[in-house]
Chains A and B, each alone.
Chain A
Amino acid sequence: MSQISSSSKKGVFSATVLANRQIGQRFHRLRLEFSADGARAFAQFKPGQFTQVDLSSAALPPEQDTPADLLDASRRELLLRRPFSFADVTAEGDKTFAELLYCVVGPATLRMTTLSSGDRVSIIGPLGNGFRILGDKKTALLVVGGMGAPPLQHLAKTLTSEHAEIEVVAFAGAKAASELPFEGRLDEISQQLGFSLPEFTKYGINSIVATDDGSAGYRGLVTDRLQQWLDEKSGLTPDSVIIYSCGPEAMLAKVAEIARDKGIDCQVSMERRMACGIGLCQSCAVECRVDDSSQTTYKLCCEDGPVFDGREVVFV
């Protein structure tokens, strides 16, 4: 029943930057082009898979353009690559285009902001296992927390283009409107008018926004909004629904709990500090239950994940 999105031939590829566009206070979208072997490898990139990007040779922005809270971070040297998923991947002819949505949080993403059209970036991928699309589902709920957006935007595209029979609804939550990594108006008025997140609207998907402070959409946790939505949809058959989620671990834990209580399948995309992304360093351990027993084992986020079944993960 499950269609395993296995990783295709991975490798180290050079991508060309086509654009690097700021879409919010700390959010940017990097458009990348792969050609030749890289184009072939990334044409197979599945939603939920990830890449390891080398930003060590990218320049820092001038000090006056560096946010005050990142000045210390800007003085740090970079050694390791950084893991990123893609928000969109499109193969066109002999090129593959990818959209990398990022938030400026530290020394690597600070350097990423200075990349400009024509720059080359070394990227390892495609890595890990993506979301599994199950054929027996009629409804897919995408639950995004903050910067968990990219793989679910990519999944939204794949679901609507390849599985038109599945109804998709997106939920997006953050502390405040300014921490939602989407373009366009996110304020309360827009929500009341039924204004939906353009990243999902373009695929014909309705989105429900929640912020802790009420600065956009529903005031409260996105998981409360999910719970409420499910409670109101009394006609849903749990077997026909699947939840896909990516975001902070506390949110994923709650999503997994809601799914379990409702008897709904749930896949969560996990995040861990990782050095290599290819199974060498063993640092990205995710504690998982062994077959419903009280035993647990560590799986690797990079190779066994980053997408896991919500029931197997022992959340931190």
Chain B
Amino acid sequence: MSERVDLSVDFAGLRLANPVFTASGTCGYADELGDFMDVNCLGGFTTKSITLKPRKGNPTPRIVETDAGMLNAIGLANIGLERFIEEKLPVLERMTPAVFVNVAGETIGEYVAVAERLATEQAVAGIELNISCPNVEKGGISFGTEPAQVREITAAVKKAAANRLLMVKLSPSVTDIAAIARAAVESGADALSLINTFTAMVVDIETRRPVLANRTGGLSGPAIKPIAVHLVNKVYREVTKDTGTPILGMGGIRTASDAIEFILAGASAVAIGTWSFIDPGCAAKIVEGLRSYCAAKDIANISKLVGSLEAGRNLAH
């Protein structure tokens, strides 16, 4: 049965071999995971954030472990647009997953310039607009917390890269994520990815200082998964179910069961983030786990599961 399961999904008009991505910032620029799995088994790939100019990133410590999670404050360290195009795109071009390049910047002009350039590259299926990074002084999350700002940047980037899919990555650190999602969709977003990390802090009680040099960082990992599932479901019910906009769901996924929770809650595809640090081959295992689940449940096509939460109380527990 399992070989007859169809894992392919339609994602804003793209036909993906399966609904599993690796999440931006946890899988390198291209084939860094290649020693641990066949990256071509993925449905999609989102690169590390790219900015117009190279960025050194924040001083260290940049990470700290927490219970069932971790904080990071990398600060969008990256090689910059030109080196990315020269060195990494040729590698991405040879890979079969749909490639979304995560784009960040300090000004709308920078986002537009990077998106415009990337839209001329064959290897790029879409752009993931990072308006949710909590770890930079300028840009990042500051574009993603006010609906008016979200409209402006989404429309500007969509105009500059009209021939590529635009996926807007949302922060959970907002009052109403559905309002942000609606603003993005109404301004031209073809897809949404959520959630980015939660702004958080860990204190060293010996030195009485925040552990991270950046003071705060983004919380990721299994700790945030139930909140992420809830927020995906909220955005699905309140916004995207009606508009048909696909959601790339993420936040603490480490097993196929976790991925299925997101899909049932309304995600058309899922991304594996922090867990790749612990088990760099886990995305491939999750693809196989989805296949087994569908086979066991007699589900011919996984896309049938998207947003298929049943109504009513759960009497199984």
Looking at chain A's contact residues, the main secondary structure is: loop
Distance in angstroms from A186 CB to nearest chain B CB is 28
Q: Within 8 Å CB of B32, what residues of A?
A: 278-280
Q: Most A CB atoms within 10 A — which of B36, B56, B60, B222? A: B60
Flag if B77 contacts A276 (CB, 8 Å).
no
Residues of B within 8 A of A (CB): 25-28, 32-33, 35-36, 48, 56-70, 72, 74, 77, 221-222, 274, 276-281
Q: Within 8 Å CB of B221, what residues of A?
A: 79
Known interface pairs A124-B280, A276-B276, A298-B77; A282-B62 also in contact (CB < 8 Å): yes
Given the complex of chains A and B, what is the CA–CA distance between A286 and B56 in angstroms?
11
Q: Which of A124, A273, A284, A298 contacts B64 (CB 8 A)?
A: A273
Given the complex of chains A and B, what is the CA–CA distance between A276 and B277 in angstroms?
4
Given the complex of chains A and B, what is the CA–CA distance between A194 and B297 in angstroms?
73
Flag if B57 contacts A80 (CB, 8 Å).
no
Q: Which of A78, A278, A286, A316 contacts B280 (CB 8 A)?
A: A278
Given the complex of chains A and B, what is the CA–CA distance between A286 and B77 in angstroms?
13
Flag if B277 contacts A280 (CB, 8 Å).
yes
Distance in angstroms from B215 CB to nearest chain A CB is 16
Flag if A298 contacts B57 (CB, 8 Å).
yes
Chain A, residues 253-283, CB within 8 Å of chain B (1/0): the string is 0000000000000000000111110111111
Flag if B278 contacts A81 (CB, 8 Å).
yes
Q: Within 8 Å CB of B36, what residues of A?
A: 11-12, 278
Known interface pairs A80-B70, A278-B35, A280-B27; A285-B278 also in contact (CB < 8 Å): no
Q: Within 8 Å CB of B77, what residues of A?
A: 282, 285, 298
Q: Within 8 Å CB of B281, what residues of A?
A: 12
Interface membership of A54, Cβ < 8 A: yes
Looking at chain B's contact residues, the main secondary structure is: loop
Given the complex of chains A and B, what is the CA–CA distance between A305 and B304 in angstroms?
47
Distance in angstroms from A10 CB to nearest chain B CB is 5
Flag if B277 contacts A80 (CB, 8 Å).
yes
Flag if B222 contacts A283 (CB, 8 Å).
no
Flag if B222 contacts A274 (CB, 8 Å).
no
Given the complex of chains A and B, what is the CA–CA distance between A274 and B70 in angstroms?
11
Q: Which of A9, A281, A286, A316 contacts B74 (CB 8 A)?
A: A281
Chain A, residues 20-62, CB within 8 Å of chain B (1/0): the string is 0000000000000000000000000000000000101000000
Distance in angstroms from A82 CB to nearest chain B CB is 10
Flag if A281 contacts B67 (CB, 8 Å).
no
Q: Within 8 Å CB of A79, what residues of B?
A: 65-70, 221-222, 274, 278
Known interface pairs A11-B35, A282-B62, A298-B57; A275-B72 also in contact (CB < 8 Å): yes
Q: Within 8 Å CB of A9, what residues of B?
A: 35
Flag if B63 contacts A283 (CB, 8 Å).
yes
Distance in angstroms from B197 CB to nearest chain A CB is 13
Given the complex of chains A and B, what is the CA–CA distance between A279 and B77 in angstroms?
12
Supply 10 A–B pairs (Cβ within 8 Å), ascending by A.
A12-B279, A79-B70, A81-B277, A273-B61, A273-B64, A276-B278, A280-B26, A283-B61, A283-B72, A298-B77
Distance in angstroms from A200 CB to nearest chain B CB is 32
Q: Within 8 Å CB of A92, what residues of B?
A: none
Interface membership of A297, Cβ < 8 A: yes
- With both beta carbons as reference points, the residue of chain A lying nearest to B254 in the complex is identified as A79
Interface membership of A76, Cβ < 8 A: yes
Q: Within 8 Å CB of A78, what residues of B?
A: 65
Flag if B60 contacts A316 (CB, 8 Å).
yes
Flag if A274 contacts B63 (CB, 8 Å).
yes
Distance in angstroms from B51 CB to nearest chain A CB is 14
Given the complex of chains A and B, what is the CA–CA distance between A276 and B275 in angstroms?
9
Flag if A282 contacts B60 (CB, 8 Å).
no
Given the complex of chains A and B, what is the CA–CA distance between A281 and B73 in angstroms?
10
Interface membership of A162, Cβ < 8 A: no
Known interface pairs A54-B278, A281-B277; A273-B72 also in contact (CB < 8 Å): no
Given the complex of chains A and B, what is the CA–CA distance between A56 and B221 in angstroms?
14
Interface membership of A63, Cβ < 8 A: no
Flag if A284 contacts B60 (CB, 8 Å).
yes
Distance in angstroms from B203 CB to nearest chain A CB is 13
Chain A, residues 75-99, CB within 8 Å of chain B (1/0): the string is 0111111000000000000000000
Chain A, residues 90-110, CB within 8 Å of chain B (1/0): the string is 000000000000000000000
Given the complex of chains A and B, what is the CA–CA distance between A278 and B65 in angstroms?
17
Report, nearest first, the 3 A-B pairs whose CB atoms are least far apart.
A276-B277, A283-B63, A283-B62
Task: Give A281-315 interface residues, CB cut-off 8 Å to B.
Answer: 281-287, 296-298
Distance in angstroms from B17 CB to nearest chain A CB is 22
